[in-house]
Amino acid sequence: MVENSDSKDDVSRSNLLKLEDWWAVWIGGGLLLICVLVPGLTIPKVGKWLTSPFEVVSPELVVGILILGLFLALFLSVGTWIMDSVVWTFLRGFWLVFLIAVVSYIVAEQRAIAAKGLGYALWALLIGLLVSNTVGVPEWLRGGLRSELFIKIGLVLLGAEILFGNILVLGLPGLFVAWLVTPVVIITMFWFGTRVLRMSSKALVIVVAAATSVCGVSAAIAAAAASRAKKEELTLAVGMTLIFTVLMMVGMPLLVKTSGMDAVVGAAWIGGTVDATGAVVAAGSMLGERAEQVAAVVKMIQNILIGVVAFFIALFWVARVEREPSGRRPDAMEVWRRFPKFIVGFLAASLIFSFLLEPTMGSDAVRGILAQSKALRGWFFCLAFVSIGLESNFVELKKQMAGGKPIQLYIVGQSFNLVLTLLAAYLAFGGILFALDF
């Protein structure tokens, strides 16, 4: 019995050093610690340009980006070396991925493009897809395509931005919109995809449902990890999410204005339906400063559900989807093995920043720290989207479309989400259920 216990301890320690999920926690946590301990840290940012990118590409920016690339390569190389001892293979590919990420940021900051909300994520994905489906991806590059590791680190960094104090800003109305609709939409979409559309891949259904109902790409990654979805399925969900996010970001504020809807109600509607936090802020700003705050906080409250959704998907997959009819009931350890471990880092970052750093350092200091961690998160997300594009092939994506069923699932699910969230926003922020005091 003692030997068996020691063996389990050895496996546990090995997992802490070998699993990609845990390395996302260690790297993301280390980066957050640096942001806290180095208050003067500045992450390079590409400025907006009009006619030529050389308007903003200065020697200082080039040096800053090179230093950032070296810094990220160092952090990632440590994890890569301990996980699978392929540092050189990783570094060869990483630098091209990083270069494409830089190009994506530069393209996205062109003023006309930025005004349309076509952010770095879309360009990173498109450039990656263009390379993958034309000249192809050489073998030496594939070692640097660590899309899941990149975005998991980004999600750990995102956790720091989920401050529980924001919940108090909107209180029950915000919770009503952000937390009531989400589980209803996920369950309904899963039922519709598996029972009505009869899609063969339940993992694809749940990934699309999570992306639609929670917060787009971030929730899709968590759901894909919990359900062990194929990389092609995740890419398909991400692609659909990014396209419709742009359309909704532009269209929803216009609809709110032309319909005469109350700006705060419209902002809560946007916060509960548009899938990316940046897009939510941009769309909310079109309705005014107060509306921008409401939209952003509703989305942040909704983002808290990433970990909750991942846990219940893991539980459902172990207990129902993958359980043999005559098999034994799963124990807690089976659920834990399936649970995406990077969510632990996401939740820990949120709790530490909410209940330790903000009370002790003050809101202004924490905002300064988060400005840098958010910039780092953007770079990791950009690296992830480049990698997803480079790993994707239109032939494989076409197979995943299964006669157009995934797009049907997304459109029907998002339509239901829009109607239900609008009703919840009207009840919560229209003075029906709650007296607003903000």
Q: Is residue 7 part of a domain?
A: no
Q: Is residue 12 part of a domain?
A: no
**Residue 49 forms beta bridges with which residues?**
110
Residue 2: per-residue pLDDT = 36
Q: Is residue 11 part of a domain?
A: no
Phi and psi at residue 422, to the nearest 5°: -60, -40
Q: What is the mean pLDDT of each run of 10 residues along the chain (438 residues)?
A: 41 64 92 91 90 88 94 90 81 93 94 83 88 87 87 89 78 88 95 94 94 86 88 85 84 92 94 84 84 87 88 88 66 72 90 93 92 93 89 72 85 96 94 76
Q: Which residue, 394, 392, 396, is CA-closest to 384?
A: 392
Residue 87: per-residue pLDDT = 84
Residue 331: per-residue pLDDT = 63
Q: Is residue 205 part of a domain?
A: yes
Kindly provide the b/e burial profile for residues 333-355, where b requires at least 16 CB atoms within 10 angstroms of the residue's own CB: ebbeebbbbbbbbbbbbbebbbe
Residue 182: per-residue pLDDT = 92
Number of domains in the chain: 1
How far, CA to CA in Å, does 220 sit from each of 331, 352, 407?
A: 25, 25, 15
Q: Is residue 87 part of a domain?
A: yes
Spatial separation of the C-alpha atoms in residues 418 and 414, rounded to whole Å: 6
Residue 336 is part of which domain span?
20-429
Q: Is residue 325 part of a domain?
A: yes
Q: Is residue 13 part of a domain?
A: no
**pTM to 2 decimals?**
0.82
Residue 9: per-residue pLDDT = 45
Q: Is residue 3 part of a domain?
A: no
